[in-house]
């Protein structure tokens, strides 16, 4: 069965990520801890988002971490300031569920995360699905729970996190990709995106599932950092496969100088967007300027 598709989204060339806000740094634990301490205050998070927004970077690609709910609340509270703000939620955020069950118990966690349309409706969907071992019912319930915090905000692309994408890929459960794509289209009018650590293999699975011209985010950098199989299979896929590539870790966590890294990735065919994280005005501005330099506004690809 072919997945339903929305009209292709016009995606910004630069997407702003959230790793820096939650102490994620693949090369330096010390830097990760420092960032985590700095961004404990939500106002510090908003100050960086404001810099990115004012630099014309209007898409925030973020996890569904509890603190993102605070960002959503503040954006909703000031629609004039954030009129062009778009969110690209990435789900699930597994630690959130584990922590909620620890703090509130199983039923408390259910009440916290269920969609607003009614507790009993959601419980029935979940219970019936579990009883029938129905992956579609369970997975769509969890999607709705994750997206609850984004109510009233623009979410034109909704991502499946790599921890789930690659687990399903390894188990051969390719039908789940179609279920995800169909549900985010039908319920939210959005396109599905898939984050992976194995781009070539995921593209094969999405083809098999009938997800046409997918949006796929993967590590894409000059030195093959966290790229399964190395650089060449990824570049070959970008040359020959029909999909929309979103590059992350383009600096290989700082192993490649910014100018060299961005020049290389912007030269690749079929590149749709670059997602990056930064915690200072200088780095945000420098990244935008490099992308503007090496990726013309109307590239011929």
Q: In the prediction, which pLDDT does 252 show?
A: 95
Q: In the prediction, which pLDDT does 292 show?
A: 96
Whether residue 205 contacts residue 165, with contact meaning beta carbons closer than 8 Å, is answered with no
- ∠ CA 164-116-140 to the nearest 5 degrees? 30
Long-range pairs, 163-167, Cβ under 8 A, ≥24:
163/92, 163/94, 164/92, 165/194, 165/195, 165/196, 165/202, 166/196, 166/197, 166/198, 166/202
Q: In the prediction, which pLDDT does 43 show?
A: 95
Q: In the prediction, which pLDDT does 1 show?
A: 46
Q: In the prediction, which pLDDT does 2 show?
A: 45
Q: In the prediction, which pLDDT does 131 show?
A: 43
Q: Which residue has the tokens 């603190």?
A: 67
Residue 66: which region, alpha, beta or left (left: phi > 0; alpha: psi -120 to 50)? alpha
Query: What is the model's pTM?
Result: 0.84
- Mean pLDDT for back-to-back runs of 10 residues, the chain (301 residues): 55 95 67 72 96 98 94 98 98 67 62 52 50 60 89 97 93 93 96 97 98 98 96 98 98 95 97 96 97 78 41
Q: In the prediction, which pLDDT does 124 show?
A: 47
């Amino acid at each position: 069965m072919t997945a339903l598709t929305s009209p292709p989204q016009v995606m910004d060339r630069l997407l702003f990520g959230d790793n820096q806000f939650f102490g994620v740094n693949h090369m330096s634990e010390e830097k990760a801890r420092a960032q985590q301490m700095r961004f404990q205050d939500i106002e510090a998070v908003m100050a960086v988002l404001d810099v990115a927004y004012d630099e014309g970077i209007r898409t925030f690609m973020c996890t569904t971490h509890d603190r993102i709910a605070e960002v959503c609340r503040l954006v909703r509270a000031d629609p004039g300031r954030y009129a062009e703000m778009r969110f690209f939620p990435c789900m699930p955020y597994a630690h959130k569920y584990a922590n909620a069950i620890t703090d509130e118990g199983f039923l408390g966690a259910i009440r916290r995360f269920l969609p607003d349309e009614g507790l009993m409706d959601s419980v029935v969907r979940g219970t019936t699905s579990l009883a029938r071992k129905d992956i579609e019912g369970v997975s769509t319930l969890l999607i709705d729970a994750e997206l609850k915090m984004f109510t009233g905000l623009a979410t034109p692309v909704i991502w499946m996190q790599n921890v789930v994408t690659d687990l399903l890929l390894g188990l051969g459960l390719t039908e789940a990709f179609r279920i995800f794509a169909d549900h985010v289209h039908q319920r939210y009018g959005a396109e599905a995106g898939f984050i992976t650590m194995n781009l070539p293999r995921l593209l094969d699975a999405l083809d098999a599932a009938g997800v046409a011209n997918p949006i796929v985010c993967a590590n894409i950098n000059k030195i093959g950092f966290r790229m399964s199989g190395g650089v060449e299979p990824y570049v070959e896929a970008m040359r020959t496969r029909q999909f929309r590539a979103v590059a992350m870790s383009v600096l290989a966590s700082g192993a490649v100088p910014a100018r060299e890294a961005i020049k290389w990735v912007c030269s690749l065919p079929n590149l749709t967007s670059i997602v990056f994280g930064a915690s200072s005005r200088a780095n945000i501005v420098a990244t935008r300027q490099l992308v503007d330099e090496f990726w013309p506004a109307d590239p011929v690809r």
